[in-house]
């Protein structure tokens, strides 16, 4: 009987502890570290969390709270109730959060930026990037002249490694790597590689192949990749652009490819493979890899997309109408459109519905769930297909984000990224 009472007391205390700590944990993990707002625009928030927020800044007067000026550094906001904030000029603020107004939780950085308009594109282009080093895809065997199988790279090189140097000499492409191996005469090669952002020195002994009498290290490698994607937007003032809404990953390693450089080129869609349950569809096209057809350069490959600069002399093919951007708190469930040119040169508007807005989603490429509703697009593609990633999403005459992924089990649905998350890379291009 006594043990039952102790267990019941423990269970009650445990439930109370969980009830107290759950909102705390949720608040810590789901409120972002940074929030962006635009000067001159009203921003509505509804966190519904047991937190108090204290705003501190040398420029505290740049904010209005529920249309009333904030004039004190001791101003606090109760995050259990909805509220609106109206920034008046550019500034950076620190907002300190406290659980139940007592326990310090975290500090959120608030960036107030100036009014910004971008040109949504929806243009399908060819994408070509060179890896920042020679990427190892895997290791295998080499049949030597003695008829035996050897694995010279196994346990030394790993999938995803980037080979940077051989015997202290920089390697620019896989042809140079092959040449260095073939000219080794079987002597040990010292290689400088990058593995998970760490530089390492490893040693590999080439084996002379029985098949073609050349030296090999038993590794598959790649130094570039090419495909089709969609440009989301460009900045009409700086000609910087963002595309895809997610990073370019290697098909074998499934990792985002560290790039040395890249380019976008004109492309022509030649066929459409419709998506169906369990099998994603795909755009297939011809890429014009000529100097005349090059539209711009790629400088960044990140989890939010690829980014670079357009050639100002090649802007004739691009749309011209600009739109203001929307922040997360301005996006809502309901009708919207995407822009895409899935056939020919014409960029078309297609109707969609934003079904869910996940403002605290940990994977920032999946901030929205969207559903294709336009019968024209459904007829051509059955929904979202590969190659449409990056198609801009417009709602209430504002650029809100881009298409990123398709639901494999339902091609009419997919994910979208918020435009403000894509724009976090803009400063790295200036």
Q: Residue 302 falls within a domain, yes or no? A: yes
At residue 342's C-alpha, the angle toward residues 340 and 345, to 5°, is 85
Residues 122 and 93 in one domain: no
Catalytic residue status for 246: yes
Q: Which of 259, 374, 380 is nearest to 308 (CA)?
A: 259
pLDDT for position 426: 73
pLDDT for position 59: 67
> What is the DSSP-derived secondary structure letter of residue 345?
S
pLDDT for position 414: 95
Burial call 75-108: b when 16+ CB within 10 Å, e when fewer: eebebeeeeebbbeeebebebebbbeeeeebbeb
Residues 392 and 280 in one domain: yes
Catalytic residue status for 322: no
At residue 138's C-alpha, the angle toward residues 135 and 141, to 5°, is 130
What would the pLDDT profile of 240-265 be if each residue is shown by its tens digit? 999 999 998 887 777 888 898 999 99
Question: Distances in Å between the alpha carbon of 384 and those of 126, 334, 414?
Answer: 18, 18, 7
If one compares 8 and 348, the residue with the highest pLDDT of the two is 348
Residues 6+ apart with CB under 8 A from 346: none
Q: Residue 396 falls within a domain, yes or no? A: yes
pLDDT for position 266: 93
Q: Which of 27, 65, 28, 58 is nearest to 43 (CA)?
A: 65
Catalytic residue status for 343: no
Q: Residue 6 falls within a domain, yes or no? A: no
Residues 35 and 145 in one domain: no
Question: Which residue among 170, 201, 217 closes a domain?
Answer: 217
CATH of the domain at 41: 2.60.40
Which percentage of the chain shows pLDDT scores above 70? 88
Residues 6+ apart with CB under 8 A from 93: 55, 56, 57, 59, 60, 62, 63, 109, 110, 112
Question: Which residue among 198, 217, 236 closes a domain?
Answer: 217
Considering the candidates 132, 289, 374, 410, report the single residue annotated as catalytic.
374
Q: Residue 11 falls within a domain, yes or no? A: no
Q: Is 324 exposed, middle or buried (0-12, 13-18, 19+ CB in 10 A)?
A: middle
Residues 47 and 180 in one domain: no
Categorize the per-residue pLDDT at 49 as very low, low, confident or very high, splitting at 50, 70 and 90: confident
**Region 41-57: what's the mean pLDDT?**
77
Q: Is 44 exposed, middle or buried (0-12, 13-18, 19+ CB in 10 A)?
A: exposed
Q: Residue 90 falls within a domain, yes or no? A: yes
192, containing H or E segment: strand 189-195
Residues 237 and 192 in one domain: no
Distance CA 246, CA 258 (A): 14
At residue 282's C-alpha, the angle toward residues 257 and 249, to 5°, is 10
pTM strictly above 0.75: yes
Considering the candidates 27, 246, 365, 405, report the single residue annotated as catalytic.
246
pLDDT for position 25: 52
Q: Specify the 3-state DSSP secondary structure of 169.
A: strand
Residues 6+ apart with CB under 8 A from 380: 272, 274, 342, 343
Domain that holds residue 88: 25-113
pLDDT for position 77: 81
pLDDT for position 18: 43
Residues 6+ apart with CB under 8 A from 37: 43, 85, 87, 110, 111, 112, 113, 327
Question: CB count, 10 Å around CB of 223?
Answer: 20
Measured in degrees and rounded to the nearest 5, phi and psi for residue 88 equal -110, -20
Domain tally, the chain: 3
pLDDT for position 21: 46
Average pLDDT taken over every residue of the chain: 85
Measured in degrees and rounded to the nearest 5, phi and psi for residue 100 equal 55, 20
Residues 367 and 308 in one domain: yes
CATH of the domain at 274: 2.40.10.120
Which percentage of the chain shows pLDDT scores above 90? 50
What would the pLDDT profile of 265-310 be if each residue is shown by its tens digit? 999 888 889 988 888 889 888 889 888 999 999 999 999 999 999 9
Q: Is the distance from CB of 185 to CB of 232 less than 8 angstroms?
A: no
Question: Distances in Å between the alpha carbon of 308 and those of 6, 231, 237, 264?
Answer: 64, 11, 14, 9
Residues 391 and 323 in one domain: yes
CATH of the domain at 195: 2.30.42.10
Question: CB count, 10 Å around CB of 154?
Answer: 14
**Region 212-223: what's the mean pLDDT?**
91
Considering the candidates 153, 365, 389, 391, report the single residue annotated as catalytic.
389
Q: Residue 320 falls within a domain, yes or no? A: yes
Categorize the per-residue pLDDT at 8 as very low, low, confident or very high, splitting at 50, 70 and 90: low
Q: Residue 251 falls within a domain, yes or no? A: yes
Residues 270 and 393 in one domain: yes
Residues 320 and 275 in one domain: yes
What would the pLDDT profile of 90-137 be if each residue is shown by its tens digit? 778 777 777 666 667 678 788 887 778 999 999 999 999 999 999 999
Residues 199 and 236 in one domain: no
pLDDT for position 19: 42
Residues 306 and 421 in one domain: yes
What would the pLDDT profile of 163-194 be if each residue is shown by its tens digit? 999 999 999 999 999 999 999 999 999 999 99
Q: Residue 4 falls within a domain, yes or no? A: no
Residues 327 and 423 in one domain: yes
Q: Is the distance from CB of 409 to CB of 421 less than 8 angstroms?
A: no
**Region 411-420: what's the mean pLDDT?**
94
Question: Which residue among 217, 246, 278 closes a domain?
Answer: 217
């Amino acid at each position: 009987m006594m043990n039952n009472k102790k267990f019941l007391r423990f269970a009650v205390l445990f439930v109370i502890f969980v009830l107290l700590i759950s909102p705390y944990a949720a608040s810590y993990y789901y409120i972002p570290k940074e929030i962006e707002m635009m000067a001159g625009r009203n921003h509505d928030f509804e966190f519904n969390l047991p937190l108090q927020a204290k705003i501190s800044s040398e420029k505290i007067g740049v904010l209005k709270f529920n249309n009333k000026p904030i004039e004190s550094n001791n101003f606090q906001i109760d995050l259990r109730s909805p509220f609106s904030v109206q920034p008046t000029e550019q500034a950076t603020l620190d907002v300190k959060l406290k659980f139940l107004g007592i326990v310090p939780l975290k500090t959120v950085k608030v960036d107030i930026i100036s009014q910004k308009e971008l040109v949504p594109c929806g243009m399908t282009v060819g994408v070509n990037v060179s890896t920042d080093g020679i990427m190892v895809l895997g290791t295998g065997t080499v049949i030597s002249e003695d008829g035996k199988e050897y694995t010279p790279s196994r346990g030394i090189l790993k999938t995803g490694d980037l080979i940077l140097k051989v015997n202290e000499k920089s390697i620019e492409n896989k042809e140079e790597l092959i040449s260095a191996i073939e000219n080794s005469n079987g002597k040990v090669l010292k290689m400088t590689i990058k593995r998970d952002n760490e530089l390492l020195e490893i040693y590999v002994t080439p084996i002379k192949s029985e098949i073609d009498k050349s030296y090999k290290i038993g590794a598959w490698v790649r130094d570039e990749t090419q495909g089709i994607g969609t440009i989301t937007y460009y900045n009409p003032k700086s000609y910087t652009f963002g595309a895809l809404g997610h990073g370019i990953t290697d098909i074998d390693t499934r990792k985002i490819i560290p790039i040395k450089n890249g380019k976008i080129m004109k492309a022509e869609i030649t066929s459409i493979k419709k998506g169906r349950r369990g099998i994603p569809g795909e755009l297939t096209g011809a890429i014009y890899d000529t100097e005349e057809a090059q539209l711009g350069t790629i400088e960044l490959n990140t989890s939010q997309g690829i980014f670079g600069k357009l050639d100002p002399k090649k802007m004739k093919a691009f749309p011209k109408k600009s739109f203001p951007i929307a922040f997360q708190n301005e996006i809502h469930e309901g009708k919207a459109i995407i822009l895409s040119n899935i056939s020919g040169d014409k960029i078309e508007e297609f109707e969609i519905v934003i079904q869910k807005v996940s403002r605290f989603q940990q994977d920032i490429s999946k901030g929205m769930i969207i559903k294709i509703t336009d019968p024209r697009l459904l007829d051509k593609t059955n929904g979202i297909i590969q190659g449409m990633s990056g198609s801009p999403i417009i709602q209430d005459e504002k650029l809100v984000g881009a298409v990123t992924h398709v639901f494999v089990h339902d091609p009419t649905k997919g994910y979208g990224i918020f435009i403000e998350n894509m724009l976090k890379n803009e400063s790295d291009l200036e």
